[in-house]
């Protein structure tokens, strides 16, 4: 059975491999996505280390001079996707978006480095990536934390990766759609519209892109100009973990200055995360910079901080919170509390389970000694594969497979989970 999963997962990776990068899935996402690539590299690393490094290197080949690493690289023209390069109009030699995404690459690089069988190759390739990843992290703190709070803001829901989370509802509602014009979505021709964001959300997504395009994608101006500025604990935790992992890598690769700077960013971030903790909700919350208030919504973004080195009592709190969520669903971890009124078990980030999120939360909980909960999360993840194959995401109550099928990072996570299981056995 396990070997079957491994073979199937590798087949998904092979089918979505475009040589130097992978597409998340054929049709719905026909280009390279930033955090998809970084997490998918972990899958390749189990059987082709060279290809795994290439995945991340290709992403960084398209880094902007300011340090930003775009969330989509439009390697090849594909009319089946909206919004394509002509909507972003960033003017890059190979077209890219002008937004970024959760900075998970340094975590992946560190993990690949630690596990590498070919140590010499890993040293060489990690050393070349190191300054690029560090420049990206510094770019985030420079441009998205202008007041030096220790936490960065996203300026578009797409940056979080959790596109239509309830976390953004109120902030997005305030984005005016005046002048946005008409457009034709393509996502709902590839996936069930009931699994995707609404038209009203898309109008605001596009409006924000138009605002940034008017500023010629000058990333030093976008934060202040954006009507949407939200501090996402999940996004920050991933960046904090990446800074900590990069610091360790920098030490190992003889870059002590970079290590010190990166560790300082991580430490400051951990301390600042504390301002997002809610005793009442038993989890972390998003913070809306435009209105200066926490956003009281029970999403998985507030559980993802387990991925960073938060205090042990906070990790224990997150584990307790997941335990409670488990009482109202069959499969952990729902992206939104199933007992909350806005919960929608099929709709993208408003309820469904995502294996990449399960993996990151379990990884952090494991470091914090929450092993029972880690076991439950891993078991549920594999039960979903068993029931519904390699989907983009799953209904946490029925296990219905949702979004795109034959999904790259889901397959990569299965390889990761099975390898960890084998290690523990
Ligand atoms: C999409 O097209 O749904 C993406 O998440 C945007 O990056």
Q: Is the pLDDT of residue 354 over 70?
A: yes
* Residue corresponding to tokens 């901080």: 305
> Ligand 1 atom 6: the closest Cα is on which residue?
158
Please tell me if the CB atom of residue 287 comes closer than 6 angstroms to any atom of ligand 1: no
Q: What is the pLDDT of residue 56?
A: 98
> Ligand 1 atom 7: the closest Cα is on which residue?
158
Is residue 392 annotated as a catalytic residue, yes or no?
A: yes
Catalytic residue selected from 163, 167, 232, 288 = 163
Q: What is the pLDDT of residue 151?
A: 99
Q: What is the pLDDT of residue 13?
A: 98
Q: In which band, very low, low, confident or very high, does the pLDDT at 1 lie, cut at 50, 70 and 90?
A: low
Q: Report pLDDT digits (tens) over 374-384.
A: 999 999 999 99
* Residue 80 main-chain phi, psi, to 5 deg: -85, 5
Q: What is the pLDDT of residue 425?
A: 76
Please tell me if the CB atom of residue 392 comes closer than 6 angstroms to any atom of ligand 1: no
Q: Is the pLDDT of residue 336 over 80?
A: yes
Q: Which two tokens stand for residue 166?
A: 């309830």
Q: What is the pLDDT of residue 148?
A: 98
- CA separation, residue 44 to residues 62, 115, 232, 241, 285 (Å): 21, 12, 29, 21, 34
Q: What is the pLDDT of residue 383?
A: 98
Residue among 158, 195, 404 to mutate when testing ligand 1 (max atoms within 8 A of CB): 158
Judge contact between 262 and 137, C-beta under 8 A.
Answer: yes
Please tell me if the CB atom of residue 158 comes closer than 6 angstroms to any atom of ligand 1: yes
Q: In which band, very low, low, confident or very high, does the pLDDT at 424 lie, cut at 50, 70 and 90?
A: confident
Q: Report pLDDT digits (tens) over 209-249.
A: 999 999 999 999 999 999 999 999 999 999 999 999 999 99
- Round to whole Å and give the CA distance between 318 and 257: 34
Please tell me if the CB atom of residue 49 comes closer than 6 angstroms to any atom of ligand 1: no
Closest CA to 77 of 69, 86, 68, 64: 86
If you measure from the C-alpha of residue 231 to the centroid of ligand 1, how many angstroms do you get, rounded to a whole number?
Answer: 20
Q: Domain locations in the chain?
A: 2-143+152-424
Catalytic residue selected from 49, 392, 395, 416 = 392
Q: If you average pLDDT over residues 386-401, what whole number do you get? A: 98
CATH 1.50.10.10 fits 2-143+152-424, yes or no: yes
Q: What is the pLDDT of residue 197?
A: 98
Mean pLDDT of the chain: 98
Full DSSP string of 34-94: HHHHHHHHHHHTTT-HHHHHHHHHHHHTT--TTS---SEE--S--TTSSS-HHHH----SS
If you measure from the C-alpha of residue 294 to the centroid of ligand 1, how many angstroms do you get, rounded to a whole number?
Answer: 25
Q: Report pLDDT digits (tens) over 40-52.
A: 999 999 999 999 9
């Amino acid at each position: 059975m396990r070997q079957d999963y491994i073979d199937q997962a590798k087949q998904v990776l092979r089918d979505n491999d475009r040589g130097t990068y992978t597409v998340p899935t054929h049709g719905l996402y026909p280009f390279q996505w930033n955090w998809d690539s970084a997490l998918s590299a972990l899958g390749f690393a189990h059987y082709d280390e060279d290809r795994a490094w290439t995945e991340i290197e290709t992403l960084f080949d398209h880094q902007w001079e300011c340090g930003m690493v775009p969330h989509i690289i439009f390697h090849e023209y594909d009319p089946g996707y909206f919004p394509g390069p002509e909507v972003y109009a960033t003017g890059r030699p190979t077209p890219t978006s002008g937004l970024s995404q959760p900075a998970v690459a340094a975590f992946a690089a560190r993990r690949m480095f630690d596990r590498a069988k070919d140590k010499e190759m890993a040293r060489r390739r990690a050393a070349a990536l190191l300054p690029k990843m560090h420049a990206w992290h510094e770019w985030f703190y420079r441009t998205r934390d202008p007041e030096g709070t220790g936490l960065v803001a996203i300026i578009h829901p797409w940056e979080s990766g959790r596109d239509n989370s309830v976390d953004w509802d109120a902030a997005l509602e305030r984005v005016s759609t005046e002048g946005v014009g008409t457009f034709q979505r393509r996502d709902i021709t590839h996936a069930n519209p009931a699994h995707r964001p609404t038209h009203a959300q898309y109008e605001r997504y596009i409006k924000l892109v138009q605002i940034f395009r008017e500023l010629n994608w000058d990333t030093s101006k976008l934060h202040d100009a954006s009507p949407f500025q939200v501090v996402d604990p999940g996004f920050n935790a991933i960046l904090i973990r990446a800074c900590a992992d990069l610091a360790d890598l920098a030490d190992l690769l003889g870059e002590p200055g970079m290590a010190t700077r990166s560790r300082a960013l991580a430490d400051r971030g951990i301390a600042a995360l504390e301002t997002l903790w809610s005793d009442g909700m038993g989890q972390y919350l998003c913070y809306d910079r435009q209105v200066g208030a926490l956003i009281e919504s029970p999403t998985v973004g507030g559980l993802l901080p387990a991925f960073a080195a938060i205090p042990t009592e906070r990790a224990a709190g997150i584990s307790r919170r997941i335990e409670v969520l488990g009482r109202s669903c069959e499969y952990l971890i729902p992206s939104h509390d199933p007992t909350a009124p806005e919960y929608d078990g099929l709709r993208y980030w408003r309820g469904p389970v995502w294996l990449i999120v399960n993996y990151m939360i379990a990884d952090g909980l494991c470091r914090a000694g929450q092993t029972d909960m880690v076991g439950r999360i891993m078991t549920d993840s594999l039960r979903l594969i068993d029931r519904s194959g390699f989907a983009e995401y799953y209904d946490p109550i029925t296990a219905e497979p949702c979004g795109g099928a034959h999904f790259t990072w889901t397959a990569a996570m299965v390889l990761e989970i099975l390898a960890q299981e084998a290690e523990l056995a």
